[in-house]
């Protein structure tokens, strides 16, 4: 029993030693071949991750520094000191430049005012000179206009007198021409047209003479007589047509009556013939029934047939 316990203890010790060696071998293998930095998810638990990571901002123009990243604010650029110094120098230069510009502007303004005063004096002198010349010119123009108007009035009066004299002469000549002309004298020859004696000029024609009026009246009477003659001929022609139409209607009526009479005679003849034929047929029927078909065959007559082989 004791021996067995000792053996069991030795086995347990050996097992523990084997487990220890196995764990040691596993640990050495992991340290040599399965280092933490070779793992796929090592970056999630790397203690040096913050040291190895890229800084949030490398420069002021880093494209990663977006607005939503909140890595760069106004006045927090890396060149702040140099920028502030440059801005101060720039402000001083601007101030000096403004002072120089102000002095130059004042000098230019003074020069412009002096030049304006000088130009204004020159313009005033020129305006006075022009006004004086304008007054002289107006006086000369007024004098020339008065002379021209006097000349025009004299010419107008003379022209009116000549026109009045010419108008009086024209009126006298027109009255004389009217009194002696063909218009008032009613000369019939003035209305004669160059296209023939049968044509006249309407704006000069004064009317027809007695011969022309008599000829027109005679022509009208002839036309009336001709119209009456034509009307009489038309009346006679219509009367003849009416007479012929009445005669034709009468002849047609007589023909129809004759035709009706012939039809009645023919109908009467046919009726008589039909009555005679009917009487003959009745007589023949009576003869056949009483004389020809009076001997009716009996049964004995029919039994005599088919009694032999012949």
Angle in degrees, CA 124, 126, 132, rounded to 5:
105
- The average pLDDT across 264-292 equals 87
Regarding predicted confidence, which is higher, 61 or 89?
89
Six token digits for residue 51: 């040291």
Q: What is the pLDDT of residues 237-246, one digit of tens each?
A: 999 999 999 9
pLDDT of res. 191: 65
Confidence of residue 11 (pLDDT cuts 50, 70, 90): confident
pLDDT of res. 10: 84
Q: What is the pLDDT of residues 110-160, one digit of tens each?
A: 888 888 888 888 888 888 988 888 888 888 899 888 889 889 899 898 999
Mapped onto helix, strand or coil, the DSSP state of residue 199 is strand
How far is CA 10 from its chain centroid?
Answer: 118
Regarding predicted confidence, which is higher, 253 or 71?
253
pLDDT of res. 256: 92
pLDDT of res. 28: 85
Phi-psi region of 280 (alpha: psi -120 to 50; beta: other; left: phi over 0): alpha
pLDDT(80) > 70: yes
Confidence of residue 259 (pLDDT cuts 50, 70, 90): very high
Confidence of residue 173 (pLDDT cuts 50, 70, 90): confident
Pairing outcome for strands 192-193 and 196-200 = antiparallel
Confidence of residue 189 (pLDDT cuts 50, 70, 90): low
Q: What is the pLDDT of residues 18-44, one digit of tens each?
A: 888 888 888 888 788 777 777 777 777
pLDDT(100) > 80: yes
**pLDDT, mean over the chain:** 82
pLDDT of res. 219: 93
Mapped onto helix, strand or coil, the DSSP state of residue 192 is strand
pLDDT of res. 205: 67
Q: Are 207 and 200 in contact (CB under 8 A)?
A: no
Q: What is the pLDDT of residues 42-78, one digit of tens each?
A: 777 777 777 777 766 766 677 777 766 667 666 666 6
Q: Which residue has the tokens 């004042």?
A: 106
Confidence of residue 188 (pLDDT cuts 50, 70, 90): low
């Amino acid at each position: 029993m004791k021996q067995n316990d000792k053996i069991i203890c030795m086995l347990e010790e050996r097992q523990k030693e084997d487990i220890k060696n196995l764990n040691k071998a596993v640990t050495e293998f992991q340290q040599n071949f399965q280092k933490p930095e070779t793992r796929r998810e090592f970056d999630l638990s790397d203690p040096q991750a913050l040291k190895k990571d890229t800084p949030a901002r490398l420069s002021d123009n880093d494209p990663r520094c977006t607005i939503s990243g909140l890595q760069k604010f106004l006045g927090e650029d890396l060149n702040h000191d140099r920028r502030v110094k440059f801005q101060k120098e720039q402000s001083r230069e601007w101030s000096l430049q403004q002072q120089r510009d102000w002095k130059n502007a004042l000098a230019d303004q003074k020069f412009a005012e002096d030049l304006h005063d000088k130009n204004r004096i020159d313009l005033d002198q020129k305006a006075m000179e022009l006004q004086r010349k304008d007054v002289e010119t107006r006086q000369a123009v007024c004098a020339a206009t008065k002379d021209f108007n006097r000349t025009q009035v004299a010419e107008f009066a003379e022209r009116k007198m000549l026109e009045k004299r010419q108008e009086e002469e024209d009126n006298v000549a027109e009255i004389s021409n009217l009194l002696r002309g063909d218009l008032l004298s009613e000369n019939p020859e003035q209305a004669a047209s160059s296209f023939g004696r049968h044509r006249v000029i309407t704006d000069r024609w004064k009317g027809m003479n007695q011969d022309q009026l008599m000829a027109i009246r005679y022509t009208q009477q002839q036309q009336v007589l001709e119209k009456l003659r034509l009307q009489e001929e038309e009346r006679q022609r219509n009367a003849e047509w009416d007479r012929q139409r009445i005669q034709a209607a009468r002849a047609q009526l007589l023909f129809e009556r004759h035709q009706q009479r012939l039809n009645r005679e023919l109908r009467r003849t046919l009726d008589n013939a039909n009555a005679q034929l009917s009487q003959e047929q009745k007589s023949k029927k009576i003869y056949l029934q009483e004389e020809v078909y009076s001997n009716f065959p009996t049964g004995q007559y029919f039994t005599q047939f088919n009694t032999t082989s012949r």
